[in-house]
Amino acid sequence: MICAQGVAAPLVLSSLLLQLAGGSCPSGCLCASDILSCGSQGLEQLPAEMPASTATLDFSHNRLVRLEEGDFSGLPRLDTLRLAHNRLTRLSPGSFRNSSGLRHLDLSSNELHVVEQHYFQELLGLEELLLFNNRITRVESKALSGLSNLRRAYLSHNRLTDFPFFSIQEHSHPFLSTLDLSSNRMPKLPLEDIAALPASVQSGLFLHNNTLICECSMYSMFRHWEQRGYGSVKDYREEHTCLVYGERRASVRFFQHTRFFENCTLRVQSLLGEPAASLLAYEGDSVFLDCQTSLRGPQLTYLWVSPHQEYVAPPGNNVTLRMFPNGTLEIQAAKTEDSGVYLCMAVDRQQMRNETREVNVTVAVHRSEAEPFNTGFTTLLGCVVSLVLVLMYLYLTPCRCWCRKQPPAATPSPANECSAQSSILTPTPPATTEGPGRKASNNKHVVFLEPIKEVQNGRLRAALASDNPKLQHLRGDTDSITSVFSDTPIVP
């Protein structure tokens, strides 16, 4: 019978398998193996019955408004659930009951406002959570605390003003490597809570495109991440902005416009979890180096060794290095020659123990942010000076030949009139050729020559062949009457 049906045989077989598995394929949906796809069907509620064997369930691009208790309780094998692009505003308690095996949950592009603590408490195996592009303004403190297997969480493009970083520490979320909080509305960051995060979380913590207020502590944290090569900073340098004095219209890209943080003190400390092994500072900064050690007790003594092999103990050398009793070393008004490796030694004389730590300090010359403006200003100034020189040449030169009294000529000749060969740099009228054998004036300064129509040395000049008043090449024969670069006429 199945063979006679031909093409319909696979559908019949699939239907039989679904019945054996304990469910039927909802109308308008596509069922294949353990996949149930009901996307773009205009559904306002979930189907009453779904195949119990479903592992991947897709209800994206529908009109779902709410998830009710036990909606997925009949799907014990559910691994991936896609509910993106719906109208979900809230999840009822128990919505994911009997779905502890769910690993991938996509709730992006919905209308959720608050992530309540009961939303995901049954999802102990959840690894990936997508909540971006909602209207979330708050994540409750315990909303993610039970997700011990969580690896990636995406909450970008929401309206968050804060986030409970203290709820995702290393002991509670050992596998978390990506937390995307970009494009939200957070004005400040709880730096101590972020410092408690393991380095694997810090390197995958995306905070760009927030409304952060420019602060030295915030700036130091991101600078530290940049030095460590964290992808969350390296890949989005231009998107990291902050608001100067909290003004929205005064947003600056602080990785490029560093002049707003010239007076900030850069510290090497446990602010960011692990002690920094290297530090970048700029000339003029006051740089603090903390002597990180596991030794404890009031009996500890500290000693620093500078890159120039100078031993520094409290209170310091009172010139460039100052040392505090707790072991912190201050480089006052850092200079480029202060760069190098600084060695800290902590000594416990009672227990006969000591620890050392190295910090590599690089002091760079501060790059001025005004350089592009100075270059443009110099160009503009050059144009203005050139214009003034041209105006001086046009209007401040002495009287031209037509306003000076000409000496009487023995014989009226066109050569006594103003010629097109007049110099443009001298008030002295150009010399003319008055006749064969007559020398031109020695005061002639030629910048360019235009063709003239007159007889010279008894011959027509080569310029007569063209009426175009352009610069003519002076021939090196007997027709040349003067040198372009000489005041002395050349007469054959």
pLDDT tens, N- to C-terminus, the chain (492 residues): 333 344 344 444 444 444 444 468 988 899 999 999 999 999 999 998 899 999 999 999 999 999 999 999 889 999 999 999 999 999 999 999 989 899 999 999 999 999 999 999 999 999 999 999 999 999 999 999 889 999 999 999 999 999 999 999 878 899 999 999 999 999 999 998 998 888 889 999 999 999 999 988 899 899 888 878 898 998 999 999 999 887 878 888 988 887 778 777 555 444 444 455 677 778 888 888 888 777 777 778 888 888 887 888 888 876 788 888 878 888 888 888 888 888 888 888 777 777 777 888 888 886 544 444 455 667 788 888 888 888 887 777 665 555 555 555 555 444 444 433 433 344 444 444 444 444 444 433 333 334 444 444 444 444 434 444 444 443 444 343 333 344 444 343
Exposure of 383 in the CB half-sphere (CA atoms within 13 A) = 6
Which bin fits 41, alpha (ψ -120 to 50), beta or left (φ > 0)?
Answer: alpha
- Residue 400 maps to a domain: no
- Is residue 235 within 8 Å of 203, Cβ to Cβ? no
CATH number of the domain bearing residue 297: 2.60.40.10
- Residue 146 maps to a domain: yes
Q: Are residues 33 and 179 in the same domain?
A: yes
- Residue 440 maps to a domain: yes
Confidence (pLDDT) at 398: 60
Which residue shows structure tokens 């500890």?
300
Confidence (pLDDT) at 235: 92
Confidence (pLDDT) at 321: 86
Q: Are residues 140 and 207 in the same domain?
A: yes
b/e 413-443 (16+ beta carbons within 10 angstroms → b): eebbeebebbbeeeeebbbbbeeeeeebeee
Q: Are residues 438 and 316 in the same domain?
A: no
Using the 3D structure, point to which of 186, 211, 236 is the last residue of a domain.
211
Using the 3D structure, point to which of 168, 196, 211 is the last residue of a domain.
211
CATH number of the domain bearing residue 77: 3.80.10.10
- Residue 459 maps to a domain: yes
Confidence (pLDDT) at 402: 52
Using the 3D structure, point to which of 364, 379, 400 is the last residue of a domain.
364
Q: Are residues 68 and 148 in the same domain?
A: yes
Alpha-carbon gap, residue 303 to 311, rounded angstroms:
7
Containing domain of residue 112, as a range? 14-211
Q: Are residues 424 and 299 in the same domain?
A: no
pTM of the model: 0.56
Q: Are residues 75 and 144 in the same domain?
A: yes
Please report, as a single letter, which amino acid is at residue 193.
Answer: D
Confidence (pLDDT) at 171: 80
Q: Please count the structural domains in the chain.
A: 3
- Is residue 146 within 8 Å of 122, Cβ to Cβ? no
Alpha-carbon gap, residue 450 to 124, rounded angstroms:
93
Cα Rg of the chain, angstroms: 42
Q: Are residues 48 and 189 in the same domain?
A: yes
Q: Are residues 355 and 435 in the same domain?
A: no
Q: Are residues 68 and 172 in the same domain?
A: yes
Q: Are residues 339 and 192 in the same domain?
A: no
Alpha-carbon gap, residue 476 to 464, rounded angstroms:
17
Pairing of strands 340-348, 66-67: unpaired
Q: Are residues 205 and 66 in the same domain?
A: yes
- Residue 216 maps to a domain: no
Q: Are residues 63 and 179 in the same domain?
A: yes
